[in-house]
Amino acid sequence: MKKLLLALITLAATIGSASAQVEIGLKVSPSITSLRAESTSTNAFGSDGSQFGFGGGLVVDYFFGENYAFSTGLLLTGKGGTISYTDVLPGNRTTVIKQKITAQYLELPLTVKLFTNEIAPATRIYFQVGGSLNVPIGTRVNESKFYVDPATNTENKASDYVYFFDADALVGAGVEYQLGQSTKIFAGLGYHRGLVDIDHYFERKRDFKDVTIKNSSFGLDLGIKF
């Protein structure tokens, strides 16, 4: 039984390696990004606006079947948005503060693409599901690398406001068209929903309670594979 199981595993690996195909390309992704902010009613955190983001980089599709591929790559993406919250300023004045947070992330997608058969000559539809691991490499608050907290009058680095790691759930769909023997172009829509609370300031330095800030983005994927 063990010998039979080993033989089946070896045969599957041989077939998989023989049929495997790697496609490498580049893409750009303009997007609309926002921050989902929540807290208790004391500080009343909430989303207060979206912004335009832009990203792009390397994409790699590793096919393990004619219509199935593991899709990854290395991308540089912009995320962020505007949040608002209630705080107490010097002189015991309660006010609503708006804060625009913009961050650039180095992104590693870990997804699966499912392709249909041709719906027209050289044209297939694909669906993409999975996630991504993201590391911030640059952050600005209100367009500056430094930000003075109006409640404490203390200047902080913008990077102090964002956690050092993020992860997204990702769903998307698009169309791929084959131009030649190995050249393909594609266009699609994708939604990234942040899973990690990126707040690294309000609970840690201001002792605010139950603050949660997460990324979201909805974008257009345009690319070419060689």
- d(CA 56, CA 112) in angstroms, rounded, equals 19
Let me know if residue 14 belongs to a domain: no
- d(CA 139, CA 162) in angstroms, rounded, equals 8
Let me know if residue 139 belongs to a domain: yes
Q: Determine the residue type at 224.
A: I
Given a contact cutoff of 8 angstroms between Cβ atoms, the answer to whether 193 and 216 are in contact is yes
Let me know if residue 144 belongs to a domain: yes
The number of domains in the chain is 1
- d(CA 35, CA 81) in angstroms, rounded, equals 5
What is the per-residue pLDDT across 90-130, written as a single tens digit (0 to 9) for each? Answer: 989 999 999 999 999 999 999 999 999 999 999 999 999 99
pTM more than 0.85: yes
Let me know if residue 1 belongs to a domain: no
Let me know if residue 96 belongs to a domain: yes
Let me know if residue 161 belongs to a domain: yes
Report the CATH number at residue 68.
Answer: 2.40.160.20
* 221: containing domain: 23-225
Let me know if residue 119 belongs to a domain: yes
What is the per-residue pLDDT across 38-95, written as a single tens digit (0 to 9) for each? Answer: 999 999 999 999 999 999 999 999 999 999 999 999 999 999 999 999 999 998 999 9
Let me know if residue 5 belongs to a domain: no
Category of 122 on φ-ψ map: left (φ > 0), alpha (ψ -120 to 50) or beta: left
